[in-house]
């Protein structure tokens, strides 16, 4: 089966500063890929290139075996959904209205709401656990709640690929775990997911593939259990950790911290 998205010798630079350096990658159907890297490594820049928001300095990006630059923007939106870190709309939409916008690439601006679309919106809200927020004004929500709304909108877009820029940012611990579980379920259904995350444990829980980015270069690509080790964490984040494996789970404990004593 052909890759949904691929890049060949992808480069991006501003002046003499190289931000993305000769990256080659492929996203296959049903993959859940976690993109790890320190602040400034180029993760968000890479996502913006893959979306076609930034023009590559050199190299090529292919969406379903056709150059990304040859697709109309609406056609790209029918194939790739994007969930940014932050989003502020220009109008005080309700949560339901925000989620309904996920169907604009498929249905256009002027198609009226029908029973089928109403049911799909309700299902997306339920999947994200925010059905009770449907009539709330989006701009009055917390940052974590807004993130769940954007995820519901991406689900409704029904694209074969979803790109997410730190989707757990602003979510409490329980919602983080529930979100990771839903992302795994989405990938198991055949859709592909590429997620920027700063938490290696999240990649171990929700991804079946990991890309490690350092100074604009992909330095590792493989399964989470093979890739995410204390050596990689030290290389990416300059932090010494110890690895703990328990059953099918892996955790990391910082070596430089002394736990607080019990009073």
> Is pLDDT above 90 for 192?
yes
> Is pLDDT above 70 for 79?
yes
173-188 helix and 143-157 helix, angle to the nearest 10 degrees: 10
Mean pLDDT for 119-128 is: 90
Going by C-alpha positions, the residue among 179, 205, 195 that lies closest to residue 127 is 179
Tell me, rounded to whole angstroms, the distance of Cα 234 from its chain centroid.
23
Q: How confident is the model at residue 107 (pLDDT cuts 50, 70, 90)?
A: low
Whole-prediction pTM value?
0.89
Mean pLDDT for 231-250 is: 93
Which residue in the block uniquely carries the two structure tokens 């820049």? 45
> Is pLDDT above 90 for 217?
yes
Residues in the chain: 263
Mean pLDDT for 151-177 is: 91
Give the pLDDT confidence score for residue 133 in this predicted structure.
Answer: 95
According to DSSP, the residues that pair with 60 across neighbouring strands are 8
Give the pLDDT confidence score for residue 247 in this predicted structure.
Answer: 83
Q: What is the DSSP string of the chain?
A: ---SEEEEEEEEEETTEEEEEEEEEEE-TT-EEEEE--TTSSHHHHHHHHHTSS--SEEEEEETTEEGGGS-HHHHHTTEEEE-S----SS--BHHHHHHGGGHHHH-SSPPP-HHHHHHHHHHHHHTT-GGGTTSBGGGS-HHHHHHHHHHHHHHHT-SEEEEESTTTT--HHHHHHHHHHHHHHHHTT-EEEEE-S-HHHHHHH-SEEEEEETTEEEEEE-HHHH-SHHHHHHHH---EEEEEETTEEEEEESS--PPPP-
> Is pLDDT above 70 for 109?
no
- When mean pLDDT is compared across 13-27, 28-42, 112-126, 152-166, the lowest value belongs to 112-126
Mean pLDDT for 110-139 is: 84
Mean pLDDT for 20-42 is: 96
Give the pLDDT confidence score for residue 1 in this predicted structure.
Answer: 63
Cα distances from 245 to residues 194, 229, 230, in angstroms, run 25, 11, 12
């Amino acid at each position: 089966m052909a890759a949904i998205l691929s890049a060949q010798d992808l480069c991006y630079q501003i002046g003499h500063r190289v931000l993305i350096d000769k990256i080659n990658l492929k996203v296959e159907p049903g993959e859940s890929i976690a993109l790890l890297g320190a602040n400034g490594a180029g993760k968000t820049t890479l996502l913006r290139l893959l979306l076609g928001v930034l023009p590559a300095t050199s190299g090529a990006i292919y969406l379903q075996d056709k150059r990304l630059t040859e697709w109309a923007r609406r056609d790209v939106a029918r194939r790739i959904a994007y969930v940014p870190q932050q989003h502020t709309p220009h109008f005080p939409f309700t949560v339901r209205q925000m989620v309904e916008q996920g169907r604009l690439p498929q249905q256009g601006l002027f198609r009226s709401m029908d029973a089928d679309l109403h049911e799909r919106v309700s299902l997306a809200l339920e999947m994200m656990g925010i059905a009770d927020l449907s009539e709330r004004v989006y701009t009055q929500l917390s940052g974590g709640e807004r993130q769940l709304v954007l995820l519901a909108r991406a689900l409704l877009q029904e694209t074969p690929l979803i790109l997410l820029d730190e989707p757990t940012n602003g979510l409490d611990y329980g919602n983080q775990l529930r979100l990771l579980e839903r992302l795994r379920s989405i990938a198991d259904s055949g859709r592909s997911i590429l997620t920027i995350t700063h938490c290696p444990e999240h990649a171990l829980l929700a991804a079946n593939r990991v890309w490690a980015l350092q100074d604009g270069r992909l330095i590792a690509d493989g399964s989470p259990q093979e890739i995410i080790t204390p050596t990689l964490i030290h290389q990416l984040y300059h932090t010494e950790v110890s690895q703990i494996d328990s059953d099918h789970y892996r955790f990391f404990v910082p070596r430089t911290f002394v736990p607080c004593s019990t009073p």
